[in-house]
């Protein structure tokens, strides 16, 4: 099993080089929103919904591959802007040709309740990538406390009027392209929030998200980050539905027993390293004393540790009931809902009655 450190993912690197633009007026008064708009829109999205964004000469295609009440799996492909012409590109055909010119192809899973990055796999590297949630833009966006910008404080086109004069300027709207076609007469809802103090280059800055009210796409069509010195924007250059995928799904890691079982005052403790997307397990003792193995279910409790380290606790009474003296056993662990990811302890042990 390969697990590599990958310091940045493309959706965060899109904002690392801030490009100065004309400054827009910043709204001062906002109306509180009870829930994160992006999260609620994603919950209504479907597999294959996608958008294409461009920033810092990088094009990123992001598609939903799975969505539940607990998590979302996203597939992302990045390619230099110089490698293709997005106005003349059929994204469906490009994907089916294995995305010629791409520099990164990955899938990530995000916990929608805790806004944590659960898994990231690079098909380009054929390896899992070790990431913190702050290494990716999306988990933080899902956890922001967004506030709606009132109509009278939206960004407008042109210079501000002189004091005392009415403001007759038109409201600025980002472009919206769906399946290569520019949409007209589109209204947008705008939300703002302050980026958390997470130690990243975006810490403490204001972020604005523009959403299409007609829900042509569940994703924001414009994301803007304002700092004291410059403004950076991520613009969506296309969006659509039913984007094909060449990969069957997000590859899953297998839990691992670590160390040796420890006897405790109450019974036995087993240490486990497991991805966070496995929430519960079935545990079995496998009697390997004879050729005809017996698999015995074991009642246990799960204690969460730091990161991906877990402790499985088994009461002494359960051990005495299940295990036979002078028989040799291994432990078999099966994540609930993921029977293909079972794991067995590497060494057997001999049970001695006390």
Every domain of the chain and the residues it spans: 3-240, 256-350
Name the residue with higher pLDDT: 215 or 231.
215
Tell me: pLDDT of 8 over 80. no
Q: Which residues pair with 59 in a beta bridge?
A: 54, 79
Residue found under tokens 């966006």: 141
The per-residue pLDDT for 135 is 64
Q: Identify which of 93, 95, 97, 55 has the alpha carbon closest to the alpha carbon of residue 75.
A: 95
Mean of the pLDDT values across residues 10-26? 43
Name the residue with higher pLDDT: 354 or 263.
263
Tell me: pLDDT of 27 over 50. no
DSSP category for residue 57: T
The per-residue pLDDT for 251 is 93
pLDDT tens-place string over residues 166-179: 888 889 999 999 99
Is the pTM value of this prediction over 0.75? yes
Residue 192's pLDDT band (cuts 50, 70, 90): very high
Lowest mean pLDDT among 163-167, 175-179, 296-300: 163-167
Q: Which residues pair with 105 in a beta bridge?
A: 77
The per-residue pLDDT for 158 is 87
Residue 30's pLDDT band (cuts 50, 70, 90): very low
8 Å CB contact between 351 and 304: no
8 Å CB contact between 52 and 237: yes
Q: Determine what percent of the chain is predicted with pLDDT higher than 90.
A: 55
Tell me: pLDDT of 34 over 50. no
Residue 163's pLDDT band (cuts 50, 70, 90): confident
DSSP category for residue 334: E
The per-residue pLDDT for 1 is 55
d(CA 95, CA 76): 11
Residue 272's pLDDT band (cuts 50, 70, 90): very high
d(CA 33, CA 146): 6
The per-residue pLDDT for 132 is 65
Residue 151, both tokens: 């109509």
Q: Which of helix, strand or coil describes residue 318?
A: helix
3-state helix, strand, coil in the chain (%, to 5): 15, 40, 50
The domain 256-350 having CATH identifier 1.10.1740: the answer here is: no
Name the residue with higher pLDDT: 229 or 310.
310
Q: Identify which of 103, 98, 135, 102 has the alpha carbon closest to the alpha carbon of residue 119.
A: 135
The per-residue pLDDT for 269 is 93
The per-residue pLDDT for 20 is 35
Q: Which of helix, strand or coil describes residue 321?
A: helix
8 Å CB contact between 213 and 239: no
Residue found under tokens 């929430």: 279
When the pLDDT of each residue in the chain is averaged and rounded to a whole number, the result is 85
pLDDT tens-place string over residues 96-143: 999 999 999 999 999 998 888 899 999 999 999 887 655 678 888 888
């Amino acid at each position: 099993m390969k697990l590599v450190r990958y310091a940045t993912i493309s959706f965060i690197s899109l904002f690392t080089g801030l490009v100065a633009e004309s400054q827009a007026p910043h709204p001062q008064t906002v109306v509180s929103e009870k829930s994160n708009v992006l999260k609620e829109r994603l919950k209504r999205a479907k597999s294959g919904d996608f958008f294409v964004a461009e920033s810092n000469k990088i094009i990123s295609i992001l598609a939903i591959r799975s969505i539940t009440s607990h998590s979302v799996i996203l597939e992302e492909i990045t390619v230099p802007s110089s490698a293709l012409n997005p106005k003349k590109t059929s994204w469906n055909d490009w994907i089916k040709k294995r995305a010629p010119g791409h520099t990164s192809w990955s899938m990530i899973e995000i916990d929608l309740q805790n806004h944590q990055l659960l898994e990231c796999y690079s098909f380009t590297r054929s390896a899992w990538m070790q990431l913190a949630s702050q290494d990716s833009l999306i988990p933080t966006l899902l956890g922001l406390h967004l506030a709606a910008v009132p109509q009278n404080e939206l960004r407008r086109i042109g210079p501000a009027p002189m004091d005392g004069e009415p403001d007759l300027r038109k409201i600025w709207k980002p472009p919206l392209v769906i399946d290569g076609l520019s949409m007209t007469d589109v209204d947008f809802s705008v939300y703002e929030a302050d980026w958390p103090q997470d130690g990243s280059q975006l810490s403490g800055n204001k972020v604005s998200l523009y959403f299409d009210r007609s829900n042509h796409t569940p994703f924001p069509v414009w994301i803007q980050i304002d700092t004291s010195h410059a403004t950076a924007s991520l613009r969506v250059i296309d969006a659509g539905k039913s984007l094909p995928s060449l990969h069957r799904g997000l590859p899953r890691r297998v839990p691992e027993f670590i160390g040796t079982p420890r006897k405790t005052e109450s019974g036995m403790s087993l240490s486990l390293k497991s991805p966070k997307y496995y929430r519960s397990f079935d545990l079995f003792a496998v009697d390997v004393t004879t050729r005809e193995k017996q698999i015995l279910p074991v009642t246990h409790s799960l204690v969460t540790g730091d990161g991906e380290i877990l402790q499985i606790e088994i009461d002494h009474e359960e051990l005495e009931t299940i295990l036979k003296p002078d028989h040799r056993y291994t432990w078999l662990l099966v994540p609930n809902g993921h029977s293909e990811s079972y794991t067995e302890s590497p060494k057997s042990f001999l049970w001695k009655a006390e």
